[in-house]
Amino acid sequence: VPFAGGVYFRALPLWVIERLTRRHAALSGTAPIGGYFHPYDVDTEQERFMHPGIHKNYFFNKLMYFGRAGMLDKFKYFLEGVTTMPYGEFVRGRLRTA
């Protein structure tokens, strides 16, 4: 289940994200969790419009705006006690060990 980025992170309750994070750690040990966010994931001021790439699907269009208001607070809470690094740093580390 994708949970660490974009609409998944915005739409899923924090307790689900925490549970999936713990499950990932239990199953994979130290394997990283990849996350990503688009600027619009936190932009509560963006004008609402029908996104052309979703073919007038009102459910998916509503999902584009769902959860933005609480995104940064949820992200800050999630990061407590978690080590993070940019993708570039992760890739450089992998290339050095390859």
Q: Measure the CA–CA gap between 32 and 21, rounded to whole angstroms.
A: 10
Q: Measure the CA–CA gap between 11 and 5, rounded to whole angstroms.
A: 10
| Burial grade of 10 (CB within 10 A; 0-12, 13-18, 19 or more) | buried
Is the Cα torsion angle 74, 77, 83, 84 positive or negative in sign?
Answer: positive
pLDDT tens, residue order, the chain (98 aa): 678 888 999 999 999 998 998 898 899 887 888 888 899 899 999 998 998 888 889 999 999 999 999 999 998 888 887 788 888 998 898 888 77
pTM recorded for the entire structure: 0.76
On the CB side of 68, how many CA atoms lie within 13 Å of its CA?
A: 16
